[in-house]
Amino acid sequence: MGPLIIADIIIGSICFTVALLHLVVFLRRQDLKADLFFAIMSVGAAGSALSEAWVYRTTTVEAFNTAFKVQITFQCMMWISLIWFIMVYTGMARRLLAIALTAAYALAVIINILSPFGVIYSKITALHSVSLPWGELITYATGTVNPWRFIADIAWLFLLFLTIESCVRLYRHGQKRRAIILCSSILLFLGLAYLHSTLMDMGIVGPPGIISFGFIGLILVMSASLVEEVVRASILSREVKAKEQTLRDERERTEIILSALNTGLALINPDMTVAWVNAETEKILPWDELVGKVCYEAPNGMSHAKGAVHSKHFPTGKATKQLGRALSTESGISSFQSP
């Protein structure tokens, strides 16, 4: 095996490893659907690279045709998963366009399987062995172009449109970094690779193809971006949990201090519901479960004087001697002290 075939095998192995990594991420956090589609995309890239290594080593038209059809099928798998990765990752793609592109690539796969020479060639006329500058021999084919290949070519153009439009909309929504990384990666790595592959299939340029190198470039850049986002989200989640724990600890300490006072204290929300009372208040007031209730609609006939912050009166209109002195503030904190 020469360096090019070894490179294809290494690329395939890396893509499979990346696919496994993002599949594990998705299984642990199933809300990250972008990682699922990215894992499928990586499998497609891996299959394409390994199939390309198989194509280069074929010696007959039949073997080349089989290996090449397998490679095209894996590539269509990658294109389809890329469509839905863009859809989920940006959240800005046109769903109907994504569905139409998926249908187009699915049709290309069906034609590729059912046609004698796949969706690229209507007939393979000859195999050629080419010696690369470093002395490695690889095989490539020439033949007549299948008229059905226009489906894949048109789908690729609309995929570029989907990518650019989605990234522009994402950029305008303030996520500039994500938009730039995704758009530039697809245009740079896949755009050049697809153009070279098309020209090579049409016999305009010679081998070797660079599609596998385009795939690995996109896979590595986007994988790094996705992993960075997961790590950042994990750090943020830990910080939020730490702050929540700090707030809980502070609340517990405050409740301990306030409960130890020989004064009834209550915290009233702006909507006049009781948010909290200390133990002394529960002893002073005869009602059960004050928290969550409207302060002036508590049991035993408590009424409310509209316009005041709140008032504590029984139907007689007189405050009970048990309440003693009631203090209220605009913040909604009240204290009750026994006479």
Torsion, CA 121, CA 123, CA 127, CA 132, rounded to 10:
-20
CB neighbours (10 Å) of residue 186?
Answer: 23
Residue 255 placed within a domain = no
In this structure, the answer to whether residues 273 and 199 fall within a common structural domain is no
In this structure, the answer to whether residues 46 and 178 fall within a common structural domain is yes
CB neighbours (10 Å) of residue 301?
Answer: 10
In this structure, the answer to whether residues 213 and 305 fall within a common structural domain is no
Give 215 or 322, the one with higher predicted confidence: 215
* Mean pLDDT on 119-132: 89
What's the domain range around 283?
Answer: 261-337
User: Looking up tokens 């095209």, which residue turns up?
Assistant: 72
Residue 327 placed within a domain = yes
For 157-206, the pLDDT digits (tens) are 999 999 999 999 999 999 999 899 999 999 999 888 888 887 877 778 87
For 268-294, the pLDDT digits (tens) are 888 888 887 777 777 776 666 777 777
Residue 138 placed within a domain = yes
For 256-275, the pLDDT digits (tens) are 777 677 777 777 888 888 88
Residue 244 placed within a domain = no
Give me the pLDDT at residue 267, please: 79
Give 143 or 13, the one with higher predicted confidence: 13
Binned at pLDDT 50, 70 and 90, residue 338 comes out as very low
Give me the pLDDT at residue 287, please: 67
In this structure, the answer to whether residues 234 and 276 fall within a common structural domain is no
**pLDDT score of 138 more than 60:** yes
User: Looking up tokens 């074929």, which residue turns up?
Assistant: 58
In this structure, the answer to whether residues 172 and 317 fall within a common structural domain is no
Please say whether the dihedral angle defined by the alpha carbons of residues 84, 87, 93 and 99, taken in this order, is positive or negative.
Answer: positive
Give me the pLDDT at residue 54, please: 94
In this structure, the answer to whether residues 224 and 276 fall within a common structural domain is no
Give me the pLDDT at residue 286, please: 64
Q: Based on the structure, what is the number of domains in the chain? A: 2
**pLDDT score of 113 more than 50:** yes
Residue 16 placed within a domain = yes
Residue 252 placed within a domain = no
In this structure, the answer to whether residues 89 and 196 fall within a common structural domain is yes
Give me the pLDDT at residue 297, please: 63
Query: In percent, how much of the chain has pLDDT > 70?
Result: 85
In this structure, the answer to whether residues 207 and 98 fall within a common structural domain is yes
**pLDDT score of 40 more than 90:** yes
For 197-243, the pLDDT digits (tens) are 878 777 788 788 888 999 999 999 999 999 888 788 778 878 888 88
In this structure, the answer to whether residues 18 and 114 fall within a common structural domain is yes
Give me the pLDDT at residue 329, please: 38
**pLDDT score of 57 more than 70:** yes
* CATH code, domain with 190: 1.20.1070
In this structure, the answer to whether residues 233 and 266 fall within a common structural domain is no
**pLDDT score of 314 more than 50:** no
Which DSSP string corresponds to 265-283? EEEE-TTSBEEEE-HHHHH
For 68-92, the pLDDT digits (tens) are 999 999 999 999 999 999 999 998 8
**pLDDT score of 6 more than 70:** yes
**pLDDT score of 325 more than 50:** no
What is the model's pTM? 0.71
What is the gyration radius of the CA atoms in the chain, in angstroms? 34
DSSP, res 191? I
Domain end call among 239, 273, 291? 239
Task: Decide: residue 112, CB within 10 A, 0-12 exposed, 13-18 middle, 19+ buried.
Answer: buried
